[in-house]
Amino acid sequence: MNCIWCNIKTSSSKSDKGKREYANNEHIFPAHLYKNSELKRPSLFLKQGKVCEACNNRLGHIDKSLKYRDNMMLKKFQDANQIFNEPPGRKGKKRDRKRKLEESTEIRHHNNSTVVKREGSSTSFINPTFFKYDEKFSKAIHKCAVNVLYNELEYDYMKSHFSKLIEFVNSSENNFSEWSFAVCFSNPNSNSYFEPACFQKIIINDVIVALALLLPSAIYLVGTKPNLINVDFLKNNASGFRDFIDWDDENFKLSECFLESPYFAKKSFKTFGEKVKYSLIKKEIKGKPNPKDSFYLLVKCKTCGQTNPTGVMLPKKSALDKINGLSSGNKNSWNFHSKEDLDILCPNVKFSESFVKDFELKYGINYTPENDVKKMNISNCKAQCINCNDLIIYEAKDCFL
Ligand SMILES: [Zn+2]
Ligand SMILES: [Zn+2]
C-alpha cells in the first residue's frame, strides 16, 4: 500500500516501527470528534498502511482546526462536555489534563476573541462570528473528505481522480478561493451528539464530485475538485437529500436537528434546498482601496458574505465634515482614511507620524446620524456579487462604508 500524502510504499509490520515507511493507524475523522470510549472501534480507522506515520504526525495540526477554528464546533464541545472531555483521568498527559480542565468551563477559538463558556449546565458564546472562511478549517474539512474517499477507493484511482484535492490539503501553497464549501449548522439549542460520518455522495458522470459530511456541529458539503462548490452547484444539487431522512429512527430525528436552525440560516444568508439549509462559505475577495476623496458605499452578499461595492461613491466631504473628533468604526478592505481626513476630523491637532499611519490603515469609517448611509434614499437596488455571482437585492439599511 502507499501513503496517500507522500506516496511512499508503506509497511504495517511492527518490526518496521521507527522506519520512514512505517504506517500505523489513522482515524478517518479526527480522533477528538469521537467519544473517548468509542475511539478504538476498528471501523473508525483507515485500513492500516494508507497513511504513513510521518504524514499522520506532520498533518496532525490540520485536524486540530476542526475544533478550534469553528464556533459551532466549540459550542458542541462545550454542550457535550461529558462526551468529548471525559473527566481528566490518570492516563492522559499532564498537559492534556490541565487543558481539558480549563476547557470544561471555557473553550477559546483559535482567533482568541471568541469563547464558549459554561456556567452550570448552560453554555453561551462570547464575541461569536460566523460564516467566515478559515483557511485551515477548510483544509481540515477537505482532509476528512480525502480520508473518506481513500477508505473506499484504491490508491491509483485516488491519484488519477482526486490529485488536486490531495494536493490542496498536503501542500503549503494553496489557492484557497478555489476550495469553497457549504455548511448547514445544527440547531445551537440542541444538545445532540453526532458521530462524524459521510452520509451522502454526490456523483456526476460516475465520479464522486462532493461529499456531505456530518459533523457534530454541522453538515458540510465538500467538493472533490476545485471551483466546484458554488451557488449553481448548491441550487442544483443540495435540495434533494433522501439519504438524510433515512438516518432518522423512531427515537432520534436527525433531520430535525438541522431543519430547526433558523437562527443561522435566516440571519443573513440565503437558504438552499427544501430540507437542508446550506450557506456557501467562500474565501472573501479583498477590496480595492478607495480614492483619496471618496468612500465606496458597500453592501454584503447574503449568500457568501462577500463585501461588495454598490457602484456608488460618497464624497468624503459629506461623510466626514460633521463628525466631532475620532472614534473607530468597523474596518473592511475597501474604505481607508487618508491623513488629510485627520485635518477635517480634528482640525488644529497635530498627531504623531505613527498615529497617522495607524489611522490610515486601522481606523474604520464612522458617520454621524445626519450622514447615516442607512437612511439614504435607496430601495430595491440590485448588484451582482463579485465573489459568488449571486444577485444581491439591497436597500439603504443593508449599506455601510
Ligand atoms: Zn506519508
Ligand atoms: Zn456572494
Q: What is the pLDDT of residues 306-348, one digit of tens each?
A: 999 999 999 887 777 555 567 777 789 999 988 888 887 888 8
Answer yes or no: is pLDDT of 180 > 90: yes
- The pTM of the full predicted model, rounded to 2 decimals, is 0.85
Residue 170 main-chain phi, psi, to 5 deg: -80, -30
Q: Of the ranges 32-46, 157-171, 211-225, 385-399, which one carries the lowest mean pLDDT score?
A: 32-46
Say what the pLDDT of residue 321 is.
59
Nearest Cα neighbor of 46 from 171, 197, 169, 149 is: 149
Answer left, alpha or beta for residue 49, where phi above 0 means left and psi between -120 and 50 means alpha: left
Residue 45 DSSP symbol: B
When the pLDDT of each residue in the chain is averaged and rounded to a whole number, the result is 83
Which listed ligand is nearest to 26 at the C-alpha? 1
Distance 22 CA to ligand 1 centre (A): 9
Three-state secondary-structure class, residue 296: strand
Say how far apart CA 195 and CA 304 lie, in whole Å. Answer: 28
| Tens of pLDDT, residues 227-239 | 999 988 887 776 5
Say how far apart CA 231 and CA 52 lie, in whole Å. Answer: 37
**Number of other residues whose CB lies within 10 A of the CB of residue 314:** 21
Say what the pLDDT of residue 252 is.
64
Say what the pLDDT of residue 140 is.
97
| Tens of pLDDT, residues 43-89 | 899 999 999 999 999 999 999 898 888 888 888 878 776 545 554 44
Highest-scoring range by mean pLDDT, 198-207, 248-257, 339-348 = 198-207
At 85, the amino acid letter reads: N
Q: HSE of 10 in the Cβ direction (CA atoms, 13 Å)?
A: 24
Percent of the chain, pLDDT > 90? 39
pLDDT band at 40 (very low <50, low <70, confident <90, very high): confident
Distance 230 CA to ligand 1 centre (A): 31
Answer yes or no: is pLDDT of 251 > 70: no
Three-state secondary-structure class, residue 294: strand
More confidently predicted of 308 and 244: 308
Say how far apart CA 217 and CA 75 lie, in whole Å. Answer: 8
Distance 21 CA to ligand 1 centre (A): 8
Say what the pLDDT of residue 171 is.
92
Answer yes or no: is pLDDT of 269 > 80: no
Distance 390 CA to ligand 2 centre (A): 6
**Number of other residues whose CB lies within 10 A of the CB of residue 370:** 9
Which listed ligand is nearest to 2 at the C-alpha? 1
**Number of other residues whose CB lies within 10 A of the CB of residue 151:** 15
Say what the pLDDT of residue 268 is.
36
Say what the pLDDT of residue 23 is.
94
Say how far apart CA 188 and CA 278 lie, in whole Å. Answer: 15
Q: Of the ranges 100-109, 290-299, 335-344, 362-371, which one carries the lowest mean pLDDT score?
A: 362-371
Residues in the chain, how many? 401
Is 89 within 8 Å of 51 (Cβ atoms)?
no
Distance 58 CA to ligand 1 centre (A): 9
Burial class, 380, CB count within 10 angstroms (exposed 0-12 / middle 13-18 / buried 19+): exposed
